[in-house]
């Protein structure tokens, strides 16, 4: 197999509700979609999860566009590969830029699954016929608004709730949620907003039976998280700090966390997710799939990878309707009243991509063909 043509589409999609975290507020997504063609009638879709700004990670929409166009596409175009995992070898000279790489790599996994006529989740080694879903709720204008959002998500069936916290909006929120929902499977995500100097405050969260505290300290830290984890009962979960399977091994060996959140884009693609999933299974470290406010294509990839057996906790993968008035895939992602998603049975990502909708949302596009690169 080879990638004969690669199309890039930069789309803009307004979010149904603004999403606010300790690092900023997002009202509209600017998303790169990658469409790969094998020149033999086969095609596949990937989505770049980079944010509009470099506040969650160094990568952002425009940096990823440049990395893909200038450096990654020229390495991949027209080269014979035996499977999608081979793409990492072709892109190995480019350091970092994992979200950019993952967009291309995941599109190629979709292409390979479609060529074989099997669902992507099956090609990845998935076995779950249903995945467990939670929701991530951003910072809200008031405690009342937060409680209302939680009540609504519980009614929809979601199995656990994650709330965002930041200094000044933490203990009071957790207390209020616990008072109203004593048995709710609840966790908090700080997106790196604290330091070890806040240890006493963070340790006081042990009183609230949280499932975990996600990424309280430095975005690239493992050491301080290990010190904090030793000092507290509540499991820490790392998100930003886990960029590779090596990072995951270091974090487990150091005791920096007891739970891992994996995002396919953050770690550079499905092959790296598979390595982390194998590691977590052999070390019996609970693993779950995080989210990056994905449109339908990224969401479909998340559903597929969440079927791997090592994904033992509900993820941040939820219904399209929580984000978009109209998604770019058909049908949109829906959640059962039990708070699960059933992975589709069709080949590849298993959802059809709405080209008309994408064209209507497109800000910029480009086409790259193997012949032109010779
Ligand atoms: O830290 O998990 C995070 C969204 C954008 C960037 C970082 C994060 C998030 C979320 C939202 O928590 C998860 C989702 O609903 O997609
Ligand atoms: Mg997070």
The answer to whether 164 is a known catalytic residue is yes
- What is the CA(318)–ligand 1 centre distance, in A? 11
Please state whether the peptide bond connecting residue 241 to the residue before it is cis, i.e. omega within 30 degrees of 0: no
Sign of the alpha-carbon dihedral angle for 248, 252, 254, 257: positive
Cα–Cα dist 184/161, whole Å? 8
Distance 261 CA to ligand 2 centre (A): 8
Nearest CA to ligand 1 atom 4: 292
**Number of the ligand 1 atom closest to the C-alpha atom of 291:** 16
Pair 161, 186: CB distance under 8 Å: yes
Q: Which of 162, 164, 166, 230 is catalytic?
A: 164
Whether 189 contacts 163, CB under 8 Å? yes
CB of 156 closer than 8 Å to CB of 335? yes
Render each residue's pLDDT in the chain as its tens digit; 374 residues: 999 999 999 999 999 999 999 999 999 999 999 999 999 999 999 999 999 999 999 999 999 999 999 999 999 999 999 999 999 999 999 999 999 999 999 999 999 999 999 999 999 999 999 999 999 999 999 999 999 999 999 999 999 999 999 999 999 999 999 999 999 999 999 999 999 999 999 999 999 999 999 999 999 999 999 999 999 999 999 999 999 999 999 999 999 999 999 999 999 999 999 999 999 999 999 999 999 999 999 999 999 999 999 999 999 999 999 999 999 999 999 999 999 999 999 999 999 999 999 999 999 999 999 976 54
Q: Active-site residue among 114, 162, 166, 263?
A: 263
Please work out whether the CB of residue 191 comes within 6 Å of at least one atom of ligand 1: yes
- pTM for the whole structure: 0.97
């Amino acid at each position: 197999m080879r990638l004969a043509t690669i199309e890039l589409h930069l789309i803009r999609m307004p979010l149904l509700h603004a999403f606010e975290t300790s690092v900023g507020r997002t009202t509209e997504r600017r998303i790169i979609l990658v469409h790969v063609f094998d020149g033999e009638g086969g095609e596949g879709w990937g989505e770049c999860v980079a944010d509009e700004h470099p506040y969650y990670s160094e990568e952002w929409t425009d940096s990823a566009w440049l990395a893909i166009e200038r450096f990654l596409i020229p390495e991949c175009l027209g080269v014979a590969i035996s499977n999608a995992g081979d793409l990492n070898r072709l892109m190995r000279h480019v350091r970092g830029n994992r979200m950019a790489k993952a967009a291309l790599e995941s599109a190629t996994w979709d292409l390979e699954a479609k060529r074989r006529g099997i669902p992507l989740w099956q090609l990845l080694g998935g076995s779950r016929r249903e995945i467990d879903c939670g929701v991530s709720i951003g910072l809200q204008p008031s405690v009342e608004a937060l409680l209302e959002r939680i009540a609504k998500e519980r009614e929809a069936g979601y199995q656990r709730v994650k709330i965002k916290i930041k200094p000044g909006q933490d203990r009071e929120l957790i207390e209020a949620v616990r008072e109203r929902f004593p048995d709710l499977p609840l966790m908090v995500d700080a997106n790196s907003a604290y330091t070890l100097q806040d240890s006493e405050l963070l340790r006081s969260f042990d009183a609230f039976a949280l499932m975990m505290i996600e990424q309280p300290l430095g975005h690239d830290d493992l050491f301080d998280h290990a010190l904090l984890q030793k000092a507290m009962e509540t499991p820490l979960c790392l998100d930003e700090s886990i960029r590779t399977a090596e990072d995951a091994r270091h974090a487990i060996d150091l005791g920096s966390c007891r739970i891992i959140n994996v995002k396919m884009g953050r770690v550079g693609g499905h092959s790296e997710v598979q390595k982390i999933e194998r590691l977590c299974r052999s070390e019996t470290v609970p693993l779950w799939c995080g989210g990056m406010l994905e449109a339908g294509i990224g969401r479909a990839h998340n559903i597929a990878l969440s079927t791997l057996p090592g994904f033992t906790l509900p993820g941040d993968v939820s219904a399209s309707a929580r984000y978009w008035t109209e998604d770019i895939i058909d049908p949109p992602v829906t959640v059962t009243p039990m708070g699960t998603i059933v992975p589709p049975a069709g080949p590849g990502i298993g959802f059809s991509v709405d080209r008309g909708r994408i064209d209507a949302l497109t800000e910029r596009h480009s086409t790259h063909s193997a012949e032109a690169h010779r």
